[in-house]
Amino acid sequence: MLPNKVFHEKFGIPVVFYDQIGNGASSHVENADRAFWKPELFMDELDNLVKALKVQDNFDLLGHSWGVGQYAASRRPHGLRRLIIANAPASIELFEQGTQKLLNQFPDGFAEMMRRHEENGTMADPEFQEGLMKYNTKHICAMNPWPEELMQSFSAVMKNPKVYGTIPLVFTYNMTDSLIRWGNTDWNIIGTMKGWSAVEIAHQITAPTLLLSAPLDEVQDAAVRPWFSTIPKVKWVELQQSTHLAQFEEPERYAEVVSQFLKY
C-alpha cells in the first residue's frame, strides 16, 4: 500500500497506513485459535482506528484486495465520504472461480502439476514454487523485478503467516539461500473466508464508490461485477496496464484515477 503516499506528496491529502492485527508491526496474537481470525475482528480494529484518530465524521477509505466493501456495507460509518474498492472480489466463490479459470489457461499439464503438489502437501517443492511464481508474475504483479516495497510486504507476511494462512487461503513458504520463497493457492480457499460473500449486503453501501480492476488481475471481472450491479453510487475503472497491483504497475494512471475520484 505504500505507493499511496503519493496522495500526500502530490495532493497534500493526509494518508494513514496501518498494519492489521497479526501483521507487520501491529500486535501479534500467537495463541489465538482459528475462530478468532474472522472479518469482524478486522472491522472492529478499523472502527477503533477511525475513532482513535478522531476522523469518524469525515474520512475516505481505500482498501485493496479484500474487506472494505463488507465494512462499508455492514458497519455503514456515517462519516465515510468516499470509498475505493481496489482489486477486491464481492465473494470468495466468484474469486475462486476466476482463479481456477486463470490457472487452467496455462499450458497443458501446468494446472495438474500445481494441484498435485497442493494435494500431496509438497508446495515447498521447487517445481511448485517456480510454477507459483509464473502465476504470480502474470496475475499478481507483472513487473520484473518486483519493487523492493512489495518484497518487504511479502517478507513481513512470511515472518508470521498465521493470519494470512487462516483467513483467506492456505499459505506455505520456504527459505533458500536467505531468499524467501513464498507460495499460496488462490484457487483453493480453505481458511475462515471460505464461503464469504458481501453480494447480499453491497446495496447498503451509501458512499460514492470507485471500483478498480484490471483484465489480467486474478480478481476477475465476474468477481467485481456484483459491486457494480448493487452499489447505488458507483464508478468502475479498469486499468489496462496492470494485474493485481496497479499502485506499483501503473502508478501515474492509478494516482490520476483515484485523485480525480477524491476530487483533489
Helix axes 110-120, 126-139, angle to 10 degrees: 120
- With 80 as the cut, is the pLDDT of residue 96 above it? yes
3-state secondary structure of 57: coil
Q: Output the nine-digit C-alpha cell for 147.
A: 519493487
Domain membership of residue 28 (yes or no) is: no
Between 104-108, 141-145, 168-172, 228-232, the lowest mean confidence (pLDDT) is in 168-172
Can you give the pLDDT at residue 145? 92
Instruction: List pLDDT tens digits, range 186-197.
Output: 888 877 778 889
Q: According to the model, what pLDDT value does residue 171 have?
A: 30
Residue 251: inside a domain, yes or no?
yes
The three cell numbers locating residue 25: 508491526
**Is residue 135 pLDDT above 90, yes or no?**
yes
Structural domain span for residue 188: 1-23+34-264
- For the chain, the domain total comes to 1
CATH number at residue 216: 3.40.50.1820
CA gyration radius for the chain?
Answer: 18
Residue 230 counted as domain residue: yes
Q: Residue 101: which region, alpha, beta or left (left: phi > 0; alpha: psi -120 to 50)?
A: alpha
